[in-house]
Amino acid sequence: MSSIITTSLQTFLERDYDIIIIGGGTAGLALASRLSEVPALTIGVIEAGPDKSEDPRCYHWGFKSTVQENLLDPSAADGNGKERVLTLPRYDLVSMSSSTNDTNAFYFLSGKLLGGTSGINSMEWMKTESFTPQTTVSFPDLDKNALKDINGFEGPVKTSQNWYPLTVLPPLITIVRKPLGLQNMKRSIDPSDSTRYYSVSSYLRKAKEAKRENLSVLIGAVVSRIVLEDGGDGDLVAKRVEFVISESGEKAEVRAAKGVVVCTGAYQTPQILELSGMLHPCSLSSLTPGLGKQHKLPRLQ
């Protein structure tokens, strides 16, 4: 995918972009690939992590060519000395309790690589669920059967059933399925070769195979902030993105003619919005009184 993916700042800035997508992760690459199907659009993606699409620790889950034990990180052992996470690029985020008497820490992993957390997760696959009752307010024009005709089985993400031959599983299902429900989860693994299907293999690869020259992905670049400009009539629009090349520390910015999309996940998205002055000022006012007061977006409060 070298024709689309680059680590060169000069190469990335050689063209003008209609849309800049911050974050080449689970959602970012899916969106970028689909938008690149429109030849008139030029799309640029900025991703902080590297490309690990050729790393068997990321894509190969049949363990036919790589010893399984080598895929685990002994340095990230839990309290019992067991390996906890894959040795793939990630953000290790820690949340401490606000109580002075509570020293419990909560760890959150977030994939710092092309494909995002879809490249490091356990690949369990399930249809999107709604945990709130459907109402005319939340779905005013959508009947529950309206999209039935576009349901199918040949989508971009290949799935398979869990094939682990666990003898304890049948009696376990019998015992617990009634009170809470239990099922043999599907996984986003191609059953033909045991490879992970994530946003790189499911979406970005299709753009590469189609030789779409209107898509560029810059890796190894950390976004600093989004710059808003006057769009007329008192509106502010996102037109520029400032970022830093991780290896060299070089600072740069890129313009987006039509818009900027933030796809950096549940943890990094609020951070970027905070740094761009787009969240409620009370969230960080105690640390930086001036932060967040430039632009107030009530919908983000």
* All structural domains of the chain with their residue ranges: 9-52+211-296, 124-197
Q: Report residue 72's pLDDT band, with 50, 70 and 90 as the boundaries.
A: very low
Q: Which comes out higher in pLDDT, residue 124 or 254?
A: 254
Average pLDDT of the residues in 31-59: 92
Region of poorest pLDDT, from 13-27, 141-155, 243-257: 141-155
In the chain, the DSSP E strands lie at 5-6, 17-22, 43-47, 90-96, 105-111, 124-125, 160-161, 186-187, 189-190, 195-196, 215-219, 221-232, 235-245, 251-262
Q: Report residue 76's pLDDT band, with 50, 70 and 90 as the boundaries.
A: very low
Give the whole-angstrom CA distance, residue 182 versus residue 12: 47
Q: Is the pTM of this model over 0.95?
A: no
Q: Does the structure show a pLDDT above 90 at 165?
A: no
Q: Does the structure show a pLDDT above 50 at 295?
A: no
Q: Report residue 170's pLDDT band, with 50, 70 and 90 as the boundaries.
A: confident
φ/ψ of residue 268, rounded to 5: -80, -25
Q: Report residue 221's pLDDT band, with 50, 70 and 90 as the boundaries.
A: very high
Q: Report residue 250's pLDDT band, with 50, 70 and 90 as the boundaries.
A: very high
Number of residues written out for the chain: 301
Average pLDDT of the chain to the nearest whole number? 76
Helix (H, G, I), strand (E, B) or coil at 86: strand
Average pLDDT of the residues in 277-282: 69
Q: Does the structure show a pLDDT above 80 at 149?
A: no
Average pLDDT of the residues in 185-201: 86
Average pLDDT of the residues in 122-139: 64
Average pLDDT of the residues in 221-244: 91
H or E stretch covering 64: none
Residue 298: predicted pLDDT = 37
Q: How many CB atoms lie within 10 A of CB 274?
A: 18
Region of poorest pLDDT, from 25-39, 70-84, 89-103: 70-84
The two three-digit tokens of residue 241, written as one number:
């993105």
Give the whole-angstrom CA distance, residue 256 versus residue 246: 22
Region of poorest pLDDT, from 25-39, 202-216, 222-236: 222-236
Q: Map tokens 């983000």 to a residue.
A: 300
Q: Does the structure show a pLDDT above 90 at 183?
A: no
CATH H-level superfamily of 9-52+211-296: FAD/NAD(P)-binding domain (3.50.50.60)
Q: Does the structure show a pLDDT above 70 at 93?
A: no
Q: Does the structure show a pLDDT above 80 at 207?
A: yes
Q: Which residues contact 172 (CB under 8 A, 6 or more apart)?
A: 182
Residue pair 47/263 in contact by the 8 Å Cβ criterion: no
DSSP code, position 17: E
Cα angle for residues 279, 24, 162 (degrees, 5° grid)? 110
